[in-house]
Amino acid sequence: MKNEKEDCGQCPVKSSCTRSDRRTPAFLPQQLYERQAAVRAAQQTSPWQANYAMRAGIESSCVSGDGSGA
């Protein structure tokens, strides 16, 4: 979804509009959107959070202080 500059034409409130750079929002395909929503919902459950906490602890013990991962 984009609004072209020409769409505004001689709009009487054009001076009130934002002057920031335009952006293009991303709309995911339905299947991907639904999958992403399901994963985000799963991340809110206690089992997922417990598993992630264990993983984060293990990963932090594997990483040396210099960030090399060795």
Q: Residue 69 in contact with residue 63, Cβ under 8 Å? A: yes
Q: Say if residue 35's pLDDT is above 90.
A: yes
Model pLDDT, residue 33? 96
Question: 20 by DSSP, 3-state: which?
Answer: coil
Q: What is the value of pTM for the model shown? A: 0.50
Domain ranges of the chain: 28-62
Model pLDDT, residue 69? 55
Model pLDDT, residue 34? 97
Q: Say if residue 41's pLDDT is above 90.
A: yes
Q: Say if residue 31's pLDDT is above 80.
A: yes
In three-state form (DSSP H/G/I as H, E/B as E, the rest C), the secondary structure along 27-67 is CCCHHHHHHHHHHHHHCCCHHHHHHHHHHHHHHHHHCCCCC
